[in-house]
């Protein structure tokens, strides 16, 4: 019999338990796209030397809205992305992808 730790499970034990939980795995899949977007926003904001508040002013939104985007856990509207791109000195591009995952065909539109 393994003795329980008085401080709970180790990080490795918790990670192993979560990796087998289908609800956890589904949530990870759901937020993966939001996390990718969050990394891009953070990267470009930092390159410009902007705080979240300063970026929010440029976008015309609240500091909390930028914080939610950068948390990587929430959906962002197309309208917000269209305002966010020029605030970061970028162009917003969207489109569709077809064909094989490893070499897709992309049809993109610049907003």
Q: At what angle do helices 52-59 and 78-87 cross, to 10 degrees?
A: 110
Q: What pLDDT sits at residue 3?
A: 58
Q: What pLDDT sits at residue 2?
A: 55
**In the chain, which stretches have pLDDT less than 50?**
1
Cβ-contact 39, 73 below 8 angstroms: no
Domain total of the chain: 1
Closest CA to 81 of 95, 69, 92, 70: 92
Cα dihedral value 12, 15, 16, 19, nearest 10: -160
What CATH number has the domain bearing residue 94? 1.10.260.40
Q: Is residue 1 part of a domain?
A: no
Q: What pLDDT sits at residue 95?
A: 94
Q: What pLDDT sits at residue 5?
A: 56
Q: Is residue 68 part of a domain?
A: yes
**Residue 76, domain extent:** 11-110
């Amino acid at each position: 019999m393994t003795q329980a730790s008085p401080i709970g499970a180790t990080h490795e034990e918790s990670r192993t338990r979560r990796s087998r939980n289908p609800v956890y795995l589904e949530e990870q899949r759901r937020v993966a796209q939001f996390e990718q977007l969050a990394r891009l926003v953070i990267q470009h904001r930092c390159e410009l030397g902007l705080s979240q508040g300063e970026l929010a002013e440029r976008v015309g939104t609240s500091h909390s809205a930028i914080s939610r985007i950068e948390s990587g856990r929430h959906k962002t509207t197309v309208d917000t992305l269209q305002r966010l791109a020029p605030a970061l000195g970028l162009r917003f591009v969207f489109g569709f992808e077809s064909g094989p995952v490893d070499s897709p065909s992309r049809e993109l539109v610049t907003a």
